Structure 1
Amino acid sequence: MPAPWSSFDVALVTASAFPECLPDERLLMDALAARGVKAGPVIWDDASVDWSHFRLALIRTAWDSDKRRDEFVAWAGRAGARCPLWNPPEVLRWNTHKGYLRELEARGVAVVPTAWLERGATVDVKALLAGRGWSDAVVKPAVSAGARDTLRVRGPGDIPAAQALVERVLPHKDMMVQPYQSSVEGYGERSLLFLGGEHTHAIKRQPALSGDPDYDATAAEPAPSAEDERAFARQVIAATGFELLYARVDVARDEAGGLRLMELEITEPNLFLRQGGPRAVERLADALVLKARAR
């Protein structure tokens, strides 16, 4: 009996925890089908998959990649050698460690100030925060997603937990400490979406570390993007030096109202296609068809 993936022209790359397409991906599947291209979910670490079969593979819901980063990056190199992979393997390798923020800062991008903690180092969290003057801060691994092993330090009472987190994680992973951007609780964290090189939509997301007991990681609403935000996001993308099929630029405003890059999501971001509406879905489908035909 043929494998289910053998009928697909385009692989929508996912994780074993998400074997079926989620609502956004179903919208994309329908748009591609209307263009004569059949797409469907394919699990990235399924050893039975022949990646040379596909005209193109699109990373979508491979949401275990941070837990298995080395394995995921190695897979991307192998799969990308057999079919066009978007975004490309070199992008995934670069973007799956938050050290990319350091590189973008060196290229002139304003990022959230960051103290970088090297794996295996010994760090006194209390002294670090005092030295930086950060009374409200976030501690997290440099390879992470979904706020895993992430802690907000609101004051002295949270320092013992932060120290324990660093002592547990830092022997195995690089870490980072940043001042909490309080603007995300009012103006909000804004995500600007670029599909096929075009700015298609923007959304306002709930702050993950606000302490709101009703926090929903999937909650987002369409939001207008200011001209300075769009220009800033384009600067970020240009600074990568990569050709990107999709990008999500997450920004916040600092205390002076200036824009700061929080994250550049170019591996497996939620693209919020439902919030973006038909224009976003159609733009991504058109870009995919062009890439698939270019093979």
Structure 2
Amino acid sequence: MIVALASAHPYDTIDADLPLLVDALSQHGVETVIRYWDDPQARWDDVAVTLVRSCWNYIERREAFLAWAERIPHLQNTADILRWNTDKTYLRDLADAGIDVVPTHWDVRTTEELPAALEWVVKPSVSAGSADTARWAMPDDAVAHSRALQDAGRTAMVQPYIASVDAQGETAMIYIEGRFSHAIVKGPRLTQDSAAGTEPTRAESVVATTPEPAHHDAAERVLGICRDRGLDPLYARIDLVEDASGRQLLLELELTEPSLFLPHAGGAADRLADAVLRRVAG
């Protein structure tokens, strides 16, 4: 049996999850190959399953990426999940379904349209990591960033900066086949009034954590909405932040190409490998 791990150059060399997953699958007697989703010479019909992993350059060619996904047999996560999840307008769907989402204003063009806040985060709705994302203290700067994204033909998101991130970070809840696997805390990535970078990765501090019941409750409500929509992701990462009242807010639901932080949780790579084999057998 062969399992393909879909990546992109040069991200396959910095994806810390890949070596652990390759090793875990090899322990089950499974051969793995790492192939680039945008390599026209790559074959995908000779493998039992293809896992979407570090395809972090798709943000520049989303429609091409989705067209590729539609062509790939036995893809995880599936093409319908990727189409919904690669544009952060999915947050509207989740908010409409009753999920507590970080308040988001779309395509802001004037300071009067900004949400009430001391600082704002501005980013495009199609992005990976912190690409083209910045944190602003001045309303004019936030609006200018939002307008620039729109003028480039992109959907702009403007959110209040959640102050707890500086002290507590973001809690990322990782699930495999709908079951909790492990959690980490990511330290703050955005510095105030820093120019938006174009790369989809930025240095971040990461530590393993034991989540509180409130984290589990929030994450499982999000996954419940996915099930209601007929989505059955092999893997999911739910990024949560805490508001001033102590409520857990959804920052992002990562179903496309999330770092799963496998090096920070003993046995996590084995759990994912087991889940892959169950999908193949099923």
Same fold, judged at TM 0.5 (above): yes
> % of aligned pairs identical?
38
Provide the rounded CA distance (Å) in 2 between the counterparts of 1:19 and 1:230: 31
1:216 CA drift (Å): 5.6
Taking structure 2 as the reference length, the TM-score comes to 0.91
Provide the rounded CA distance (Å) in 1 between the counterparts of 2:45 and 2:156: 37
Aligned twin of 2:210: 224
Taking structure 1 as the reference length, the TM-score comes to 0.87
Over the aligned positions, Cα root-mean-square deviation in angstroms equals 2.0
- Show CA shifts across 1:223-265 (max 9, x none): 1100111121011011123101000000001011111000000
The question of 1:89 aligning with 2:79 is answered yes
- Choose from 269, 273, 282 the match for 1:285: 273
1:212 CA drift (Å): 11
- Choose from 17, 20, 23 the match for 1:27: 20
1:20 CA drift (Å): 4.7
Q: How do residues 1-295 of structure 1 correspond to structure 2 at under 5 angstroms?
A: 9-20=2-13, 22-79=15-72, 83-117=73-107, 123-124=109-110, 126-129=111-114, 132-156=115-139, 159=140, 161-171=141-151, 172-211=153-192, 217-241=203-227, 242-277=231-266, 279-294=267-282
Secondary structure of the residue that 1:261 maps to in structure 2? strand
Secondary structure of the residue that 2:70 maps to in structure 1? helix
Verify the 8 A CA contact 2:137 2:193 in the aligned structure 1.
no
Larger Rg: 1
1:65 CA drift (Å): 1.4
User: 2:280 is matched by which residue type in structure 1?
Assistant: A
Aligned twin of 2:198: none
Q: 1:173 to 1:147 in 2, by over 3 A?
A: same
User: 2:27 is matched by which residue type in structure 1?
Assistant: A
1:268 CA drift (Å): 0.2
User: 2:113 is matched by which residue type in structure 1?
Assistant: L
Aligned length: 272
Provide the rounded CA distance (Å) in 1 between the counterparts of 2:37 and 2:14: 14
Secondary structure of the residue that 2:23 maps to in structure 1? helix
Aligned twin of 1:4: none
1:69 CA drift (Å): 1.0
Verify the 8 A CA contact 1:206 1:217 in the aligned structure 2.
no
Provide the rounded CA distance (Å) in 2 between the counterparts of 1:22 and 1:191: 17
